[in-house]
Amino acid sequence: MKSWIDERIGRQFLFVFYLFTALVLLTSIAVYMYAEQRIEQTTSALEQISERRTNATELFETWQSMQYEMRGYVLLGDEEMLARVKEKQALIHKQTSWFERHARTDHEQTYANNARTLFAAYQDRVMPSLERYVDAKHEGRVTEPFLKMPTLDAVYPQDTPPADRTFAINSSSAADMSESIVDMEKMFTDYRNALNSDEDALRTQLATHTKWAQALWLFSLFLVLLILFFIAHPYVKRLTGQLQDLIENSKRLAGDKPSIYPVAPQSRNEVGQLANSFRQMATSLATQRTQVEEEREKTARLLHSIRDAVIYVEHTTNEKWANQALFVLFNQPITHWNEVDLCRVDIELDELGLQVDQKEKFFSFMRRSFDGQCKEESVTFSMNEEARFIQMYAEKIYLRGTRHGTMLVFRDITHETEVDRLKTELVSTVSHELRTPLTSIIGFTELLRFRELPAERMKKYISLIHQETLRLEDLISNLLDIQRMESGKQTYDFQRENVRDLLEQAISVQQISRYHHLSLQCEKSVHVFGDRTRLHQLFTNIIHNALKYSPYGGDVRINVTDIGTNHLEITVQDFGIGIPATAISKVFDKFYRVDNSASRKIGGTGLGLAICKEIVEGHDGTIRVESSVGEGSTFFITLPVA
């Protein structure tokens, strides 16, 4: 018999299952019948309590409503309000009668008696007085604007109520009509608290019965399990052991730790055969999984290590995966960071395109790439108002001959674009700035060479040639200065220098027209440690710019103030053409010039402010500018005090 059962797991299972089912069914039925009887009794009692609480609440609310209607009748004398009061009286009588009929406990009987007594006292004593009072007002015997309780007594005198009366309603009291509400509220509160106590007791009793039912069922189940343990122990132990071993191995194979536990000794049933097959499959899958994980981690780390932003779009599921560089490029937070896997992109590609300046060009290229109709290899666009320049290209991803997705690669070419721009600007600016003075020099030298000129005119032409030569020398000096500063070869001879002397010297070399007016406010005793030559160059450039970019004249104010922390601040303020807000962050860049009509007419190399910034930073200071178009500019130079 035992051998016959061991050959098939179905026979073992059915034997244990039928025995267990029969025992559990019997015990469950007994426990269910016991619990159901207790629950029905308690539920019925709770429903009765709920009904009494609801009726008590309705009685209290009707009592309040009648009081408010009666007050309105006293104030307005409206007969419709009195009619509603009569309806409320009938309803209160009906509700009170219900409690008198259904009172089962002492506190219910007390509540019914008190409600009846209070209602009778109010109906017999107060309401007739209030009705007479309203009639007296209608007849003109009472002219007071508001009810006064002594008047109420005068209109309809009442006998003094007995001293032992439960609710002492006194019509001469100012709180007459509110005391009855307080009395009713106290009766309602006491009765509701009594109902709550009864309800809590019933719930406690129900919880106790439930716990007993649970304990009884658990005890019965324990007995059933104990019986099964002794009867089916050999079969259940072996069967559950084999199944548990397979379950543990399956979990480990599906989880992060695919190592395999030793499998239990083989048996002749289906579980033993399954265990042998499982061992072979697990070994093969573990090897393959290790190889796949290594390749996946290698791919992810390679993509995270490159600086180009990469995003892969799965066409079937529309899932998007990217490397770390993409989130940095588009300034997006990484929601799920994992070094051994790509980052999932939760936002749509349209949201990334919001930062692109050429949106139509960007989205058109992506659509053609996803549809497989893209003919160009790549597209170049700028982001955030040309803050960055990006080159994007797309690649189709095929798996087993079927296209599964598209990979977009974004290469940041901002540096290359900036270098090309600087080269172009350098050639253009230097060519223009060199050609202008050279043209003048060549023209004047030809006049001096081939023509006989008066001595006065020759002297004038030679002076002009000298000025243009100095202009060429200044341009070449600026180029050499910026190259020397960038290469780190610039040196400074720091000495104690008087700031006022430096500023006055810088002002003296300016060619100030009669339309400009310079003012200087600076104490004579202000000193800094610095290179006199470079500080002179700094102040000269800043003041010269203030004059140059005020082509229609105006004031140029130079102020020196001590701002504390051993620093002074030098401000140069003009009221000229000003600088656009978009250009303020770039005015200290090399070869940068504001691109507007007024600036183009003035000219320049775009090196002056770049040199000024290098000089200030070489003196451990700072320089910044505040400006508004059409209102002028103010440069702030901060230097350490000597």
Average pLDDT over residues 265-271: 64
Give Cα separations from 93 to 96, 97, 111, 618 (angstroms). 5, 6, 14, 99
Residue 497: its H or E element: strand 494-498
- Kindly report, residue by residue over 389-444, the tens digit of the pLDDT: 888 888 888 888 788 888 888 888 887 877 677 667 666 666 656 666 777 778 87
DSSP SS3 for 262: coil
Strand order in the sheet with 632-640: 516-521, 554-564, 567-574, 632-640, 622-628
CA–CA distance, 528 with 497 (Å, rounded to integer): 5
Do 418-483 and 493-640 agree at the fold level? no
Hey, what are 599's tokens? 């600036």
Whether residue 212 has pLDDT greater than 50: yes
Per residue, what are the HEC states of 452-496? CCCHHHHHHHHHHHHHHHHHHHHHHHHHHHHHHHHCCCCCCCEEE
Q: For the packed helices 9-76 and 176-254, what is the interaxial angle rounded to 10 degrees?
A: 160
Q: Enumerate the domain spans of the chain.
A: 37-211, 306-412, 418-483, 493-640
Residue 314: its H or E element: strand 309-314
Whether residue 479 has pLDDT greater than 80: no
Confidence grade of residue 637 (pLDDT, cut at 50, 70, 90): very high
Whether residue 184 has pLDDT greater than 80: no
Looking at this protein, which amino acid is placed at residue 588?
F
> 306-412, what's its fold?
Beta-Lactamase (3.30.450)
Whether residue 474 has pLDDT greater than 80: no
- Kindly report, residue by residue over 69-85, the tens digit of the pLDDT: 888 887 888 888 888 88
CA–CA distance, 424 with 606 (Å, rounded to integer): 13
Instruction: Please name which of 167, 160, 130 lies closest in space to residue 148, comparing C-alpha atoms.
Output: 130
Average pLDDT over residues 77-99: 85
CATH architecture of the region 37-211: Up-down Bundle (1.20)
pLDDT for res 443:
80
CATH architecture of the region 418-483: Orthogonal Bundle (1.10)
Q: What are phi and psi of 595, to 5 degrees?
A: -90, 80
Hey, what are 552's tokens? 């229609």
Neighbours of 530 (CB within 10 A): 27
Mean pLDDT of the chain: 77
Query: What burial letters (b/e) apply to 508-526, b meaning 16+ CB within 10 Å?
Result: eebeeeeebebeeebeeeb
pTM: 0.39
CATH of domain 493-640: 3.30.565.10
Whether residue 478 has pLDDT greater than 70: no
Instruction: Please name which of 187, 198, 179, 165 lies closest in space to residue 59, comparing C-alpha atoms.
Output: 187
Taking the chain, what is the end-to-end CA distance rounded to the nearest angstrom? 109
- Kindly report, residue by residue over 496-505, the tens digit of the pLDDT: 999 899 888 8
Whether residue 175 has pLDDT greater than 60: no
Check if the beta carbon of residue 536 is closer than 8 Å to that of residue 547: no
- Kindly report, residue by residue over 331-344, the tens digit of the pLDDT: 777 766 666 677 77
pLDDT for res 380:
85
